[in-house]
Amino acid sequence: MVFVATNWNVLRDSWLNMRQTSLRLGMSSSTLRNDPKALNVSIQDEKLVVDLVDGRTLIVPLDWYPRLAHATPDQQCNWTLVGGGYAIHWPDLDEDIGVEGLLAGNRSGESQKSFERWLSGRKPRD
């Protein structure tokens, strides 16, 4: 999933408000019991590996996120946690991935046309 300019605190607050409203309305079956927050991120053997603060580790195929798959090792390692760990941001790639999306098994939502436009504007990979 790619977000253009996102205020992560607003996004987090909105999500928390929706979650509280859902609980009040009795819609708890899809609500996560733990707040999933990332602690560490790495790329290993063509996999995106995300360690969560609760001790779980998420491992997904790197090709689910084409920008990460086409990045240099230096670009892949240049990430920051945003929203207190609710998402991961790669500034060199303009890529943002939410932890809940990873838990849900969501691949990148970027269109092929958008990805090709981004790829054509990049320097060749080392």
- Residue 117 in tokens: 């436009």
- Pair 40, 48: CB distance under 8 Å: no
Question: Residue 54, by phi and psi: left (phi above 0), alpha (psi -120 to 50) or beta?
Answer: alpha
The Cα-based distances of 31 to 18, 34, 44, 60, 86 in angstroms read 10, 9, 30, 22, 15
Domain 37-120 class, CATH top level: alpha beta
pLDDT mean over 62-79: 96
Map out the domains of the chain as residue ranges: 37-120
**According to the model, what pLDDT value does residue 57 have?**
97
DSSP state of 123: P
**According to the model, what pLDDT value does residue 34 have?**
72
- Residue 7 in tokens: 């205020």
Three-class SS of residue 98? strand
pLDDT mean over 105-124: 90
Mean pLDDT of the residues in the chain: 84
**According to the model, what pLDDT value does residue 28 have?**
47
For the cut 60, the answer to whether the pLDDT of residue 29 exceeds it is: no
Residue 10: exposure state from Cβ atoms within 10 A (0-12, 13-18, ≥19) = exposed
- Residue 114 in tokens: 């958008």
Query: What pTM, to 2 d.p., does this model score?
Result: 0.72
